[in-house]
Chains A and B, each alone.
Chain A
């Protein structure tokens, strides 16, 4: 079975982003970029399924600027077999990405698509669900455990208040939660090997997809700052402040 793993290049999770002074966006020039953490988990899961003999091929896909190649190489260093870059300079919103992925699914015919549950830049948490809808496939979002057997995926999902287990008939889309696995570090030999793996580049127009953004960003602003608090010397003073100043207890 073939597994398709969409990966996104985002600002590294440790970077505290700054809003541009003109309010047009956040400043990502000269900022460290990395693979979205949830996508690393997705790649790791797909590679484990191949290592277990359940999957035969893992294809990493990224949609975006030419530099997304690095993200695909990173996925191949973890163990993806080949990569596809859908190259576009347009801002790609979740619906556009889902349509591009649909076009690739129609072509590649994967049995499972494993996506991260959300990208840590736009925090949308939409693409996997949208892809499943466009394909007419079942979905299992926020997965913390995945088992594949006999054309069915049994997935434990993280829900508010606990866990849920669902069975979905393949083909299907799974989105990863943080606790699905611990992604491996890519070793230097694997990074070198990844440079030789095949990476195909296509354009949205080749796939017949209109990627024009549907949402217009009018403004990006800093969130309201919290005013600096005070250090209290001991617990007695803390209790006094909470009772008499903040009046919350």
Chain B
């Protein structure tokens, strides 16, 4: 039996989280097939075919697959499922949306947010906002797994898989994508960034958030993140949120500015390699996980940091 990985992409480029998911599939140990579904997305299929470890690329193209709605994608994946022992997708908004539909139709459990593969049927996943790690095993005929991208390396290049077209089932038709508003940014994508500068309520306003953190992010080549408090207060857009309910990140360096460090925020960043906290409250819980902490006024410290980095 083989493993099916569902690729995340925007019909033009492959999303990095797919590469981490392929690495998780490699740890299970069987032939890896990757499904690229979408519309006019053969460039994505070409990119996937060059990934090490991939032996077959299935390309399903149809106009109604363009927005990759959960209903249509789940229908397609369940028609292919018979040949596979494992079905994997990244635990991003994309994977979380469609994968449980696949599991339900196949009448199997899904293991969400896998952070380690112990064997072909035993997996580790965080529960309670990352405060515990559960090792679970599944006897279901098909293992449906969403994979936490930050827990696995990116699969390298070095493959030459064949691309084969597969038919797409008819449209589900009861869901329609009306519009998408994507924030455009020249900064690295938050989920895959090597350095993240993140701001919290301590910044006080949207103006301060941008005025203080953007120069620091520029100096470090970093992505910008935010705590839920900062997002709720309107300092930063929703998709900047790092935490249990936002994005889970694990950069080389995470700089938390004016963030107290609530359980829910720590759940999203405590696997970062190095954590720096800048906060005026010496008792803030963020200092319990920070490798380097500076207690002081962020309005003084952040500009000083920018000038010393420059």
**Residues of A near any B CB (own CB < 8 A):** 11, 13-14, 16-17, 19, 26, 93-95, 98, 117-118, 120-134, 137-142, 144, 154, 158-169, 172, 177-179, 214-223, 226, 228-232, 234-236, 238-239, 241-242, 246, 248-249
Contact = CB atoms under 8 A, between A and B. Distances in A.
Interface stretch (B36-44, B107-115, B203-211): B107-115
A130 B101 contact: yes
A177 B177 CA distance: 18
Given A133-B105, A248-B252, A215 B136 contact: yes
B299 interface: no
A248 to B, nearest CB: 4
Contact of A231 (B138, B228, B287): B287
Given A123-B112, A216-B136, A229-B291, 12 more contacts: A17-B128, A123-B113, A123-B129, A129-B96, A166-B69, A166-B178, A218-B136, A232-B292, A234-B294, A238-B292, A246-B253, A248-B253
Contacts of B127: 26, 121-123, 220
A160 B191 contact: yes
A2 to B, nearest CB: 19
B128 A120 contact: yes
B257 to A, nearest CB: 12
Interface string B84-106: 00000000111011111111110
A217 to B, nearest CB: 5
Nearest to A225: B289
17 contacts: A95-B108, A120-B244, A129-B97, A129-B98, A130-B104, A138-B172, A139-B70, A141-B96, A158-B93, A164-B179, A164-B181, A178-B232, A215-B136, A223-B270, A226-B291, A238-B276, A241-B292
Contacts of A141: 70, 96-97
Contacts, number: 244
Contacts of A13: 263-264
B304 interface: yes
Contacts of B94: 159-160
Contacts of B273: 246, 248
A43 B112 CA distance: 25
Dominant secondary structure at the B interface = mixed
B38 to A, nearest CB: 15
Nearest to B302: A235
Interface in B250-287: 252-253, 263-264, 270, 273-276, 287
Given A16-B263, A220-B134, A222-B132, A142 B93 contact: yes
Interface of B: 67, 69-71, 74, 92-94, 96-105, 107-113, 122, 126-140, 172, 174-183, 189, 191, 195, 220, 228, 231-232, 237-239, 244-245, 247, 252-253, 263-264, 270, 273-276, 287-295, 301, 304-305, 308-309
A229 B292 contact: yes
Contacts of B93: 142, 158-160
Nearest to A222: B132
B104 A154 contact: no
Contacts of B304: 235
Nearest to B222: A249
Of listed B134, B264, B289, residue having the most chain A CB within 10 A:
B134
Contact of A161 (B175, B239, B305): B239
A137 to B, nearest CB: 8
Contact of A94 (B74, B110, B137, B138): B110
A19 B135 CA distance: 13
A31 B130 CA distance: 18
Contacts of A223: 126, 130-133, 270
A151 B112 CA distance: 32
Contact of A17 (B132, B140, B275): B132
B232 A179 contact: yes
